[in-house]
Amino acid sequence: MYFSKVHCVRIFILLGAIFSARCASAEPDTQWFRDAKFGIFIHWGLYSELGNEWQGKSYYGSGEWLMNRAKIPAAEYAKVAAEFNPTNFNAVDWARFVKESGARYLVITAKHHEGFAMFGSKVSPFNIVDATPYHQDPMRALADACRREGLKFGFYYSQFLDWHEPNGGGNTWDFPKDKKDYPSYYAEKSVPQIKELLSNYGPLGLVWFDMPGGLNRDKTLDLIGEVRRLQPACLISSRVGNDLGDFRDLGDSELPPNVIDGMWEALFTHNDSWGFVKSDADFKTPADILHLLAATSARGGNLILNVGPDGTGKIPETSQRYLHEVGSWLTRNGESIYGTTHSPIPDQPWGVATLKTNRLFLHIFTRPKNGVLWVPSFSATCQRAVLLANGRKLKAEQTGDDLKILLPAALPDARDTVVVVEFTGLLQDAWTSTPEMISQAFDTFSVDAAKAKTTGQTSLKSIASSRYFGNWKHDTCAQTMQTPADAADFSFCFLDAGDYRVSLDYACLSGSKDREGVIEIGGQSLRFQTLLTATDFDSHEPLVFIRHALGIIHIASPGVLPVSIHPQTAGAELFWLRRIIVEPVK
């Protein structure tokens, strides 16, 4: 049979498509994750039924840790399953909630530390199908509903902590630690259940492992191998352990102060807990969430925001309302988030920036009072500037690397108005080289210690502390400043002459009380003596900071000035500096 040239070409193209399709699935699929920028996390389990209350006592903080905090015996806790009947759960509604929030993926707890499987498992009868009056597998329905909405779907799985199992990690109030056989737990429950999830719920975008333990690097690689074998395209979180995984998960509620390269996720709770807590109404507002999302994108990462449905399967009303508002904003402004890369400039007094090829998106959280949006280090050539929401063209003036855009009196969205700057030429990455832009156009300026250039022994450290249990906060502070040579140095660009009040925001432990320090701004100095904020530091208690007003400086004319903070004399550590506050004097 004679094949015309055309036929040969067609066959070649078809074979190529088949080969590339197979190759495409042979590697973890990272592009969707890089472009998604926003995901929803759901913590849902037996703990959701309890809402952080046990035997008439209310607990505050992470509700999914109730069994551990109340030291509830495993046999006692297992009885909660008989009460768990989420008749309000509706997979289509949940998938639509996620879609309408503007998120592009959903991660849900298949098994948390309580050891209860929220899916039908043949490995353990302690699961939602066999042990509850509900007798259904919500994960199956949810996975299908998410795919119909075009969402990536993934499971959270606590691969080591399991308070239901004698050989699982973490429960030492029922099962003595020295008797635990972690390898048998992995062999008999953890890995077989992970395989069930990888085999029975269709293509997964990611598996979100958590609290790694009990596995060395080789065993972790074996676990990863199982994921790759069953779901080659599926991404694996860094909390699989042993410095492995496809993307990095930061600490709980941790926003990095600067850009991080590679694929990573900042993860936050909507209120103060991952699991449902009856008393927790401390929800982040739509503006809080939008600022968090834009700031995470500006640093090059994804934001995954958690909601905690109750035991009936109801997502809290406030989460529904607020995430819907976020989704409405993303409908109008999503191109300034989805598929963007990190900002070439650091956070500005007016907000943050994101970048997509030849367009710089300026997210305005606070309108400058003089209506002039100052964009520093703009090394490209501005072609035009428009309001993203309505396409209105704005007047832009570029002088060298300084771009000034004249804003209308009223901005379309007081929470986050996006200005798009279309440019030609190369926009250099100036995140670390751009000075702090200080002017009379804002009421206050906050300069993070994380922006400091350190000298001598000065070190920058991210300190984790918590308010309620599991409600973590992260503060980057300049520490170990013991001599005048140990300094935190900055560069301030004063756009306007005038007077400015300078304050320092710091924590001061007992060993640093009354230490004398100085901040030098250009040729002016403000000396200070540290004020005690706590006798010592406990990461499970709030880390208290003081805002200590040091005095007024006068700036005779605009310009860039060096700023340095250091001890006046050698001695104990000066303090833990978190930020410098500068307020124009009206």
Stretch that binds ligand FHN, among 59-67, 73-81, 401-409, 556-564 (CB under 6 A): 59-67
150: tokens are: 């075009």
The 211-240 site mask, x for binding ligand FHN (CB under 6 A), equals x-----------------------------
The 360-389 site mask, x for binding ligand FHN (CB under 6 A), equals ------------------------------
Strand 381-387 and strand 351-356: the pairing is unpaired
Give the Cα separation of 521 and 228 in Å (integer): 55
16: tokens are: 């190529």
Strand 235-236 and strand 488-494: the pairing is unpaired
Q: Which residues of 297-321 are buried (b: 16+ CB within 10 A; e: fewer)?
A: bbbbbbbbbbbbbbbebbbbeebee
Q: Contacting ligand FHN (CB under 6 A), which of 64, 165, 416, 475?
A: 64
Using DSSP, state whether 542 is helix, strand or coil. Answer: coil
Give the Cα separation of 409 and 418 in Å (integer): 15
Is residue 475 a contact point for ligand FHN (CB under 6 A)?
A: no
Using DSSP, state whether 520 is helix, strand or coil. Answer: strand
Give the Cα separation of 252 and 262 in Å (integer): 19
Is residue 210 a contact point for ligand FHN (CB under 6 A)?
A: yes
Stretch that binds ligand FHN, among 58-66, 75-83, 94-102, 344-352 (CB under 6 A): 58-66
Give the Cα separation of 138 and 51 in Å (integer): 20
**Binding-site residue total for ligand FHN (CB under 6 A)?**
8
Is residue 280 a contact point for ligand FHN (CB under 6 A)?
A: no
CB of 267 to ligand FHN, least distance (A): 5
Q: Contacting ligand FHN (CB under 6 A), which of 129, 207, 266, 267?
A: 267
Residue recorded with tokens 């702090």: 436
Return the number of the residue (209 or 545) whose C-beta is nearest ligand FHN.
Answer: 209
Is residue 266 a contact point for ligand FHN (CB under 6 A)?
A: no
CB of 268 to ligand FHN, least distance (A): 9
* CA-angle at 61, arms to 56 and 66, nearest 5°: 50
CB of 302 to ligand FHN, least distance (A): 14
Give the Cα separation of 34 and 255 in Å (integer): 17
Return the number of the residue (160 or 445) whose C-beta is nearest ligand FHN.
Answer: 160
Stretch that binds ligand FHN, among 32-40, 61-69, 393-401, 503-511 (CB under 6 A): 61-69
Return the number of the residue (208 or 283) whose C-beta is nearest ligand FHN.
Answer: 208
CB of 105 to ligand FHN, least distance (A): 16
Is residue 265 a contact point for ligand FHN (CB under 6 A)?
A: no
CB of 158 to ligand FHN, least distance (A): 7
Give the Cα separation of 264 and 248 in Å (integer): 4
Give the Cα separation of 124 and 46 in Å (integer): 15
CB of 467 to ligand FHN, least distance (A): 15
CB of 468 to ligand FHN, least distance (A): 13
- Which positions from 135 through 164 interact with ligand FHN, judged by CB under 6 A? none
Let me know: does 205 contact 234? Beta carbons within 8 Å. Answer: yes
CB of 115 to ligand FHN, least distance (A): 13
Return the number of the residue (113 or 579) whose C-beta is nearest ligand FHN.
Answer: 113
Give the Cα separation of 254 and 239 in Å (integer): 15
Instruction: Write out 406-443 in H/E/C secondary structure.
Output: ECCCCCCCCCCEEEEEEEECCCCCCCCCCCEEECCCCC
Question: Phi/psi zone of residue 487: left (φ > 0), alpha (ψ -120 to 50 degrees), beta?
Answer: beta
CB of 538 to ligand FHN, least distance (A): 18
Is residue 62 a contact point for ligand FHN (CB under 6 A)?
A: yes
Return the number of the residue (267 or 364) whose C-beta is nearest ligand FHN.
Answer: 267
Return the number of the residue (397 or 538) whose C-beta is nearest ligand FHN.
Answer: 538
Q: Which of 515, 525, 520, 528 is nearest to 573 (CA)?
A: 515
Q: Contacting ligand FHN (CB under 6 A), which of 116, 126, 274, 442?
A: 274
Is residue 252 a contact point for ligand FHN (CB under 6 A)?
A: yes
Q: Which residues bind ligand FHN (CB under 6 A)?
A: 62, 64-65, 210-211, 252, 267, 274
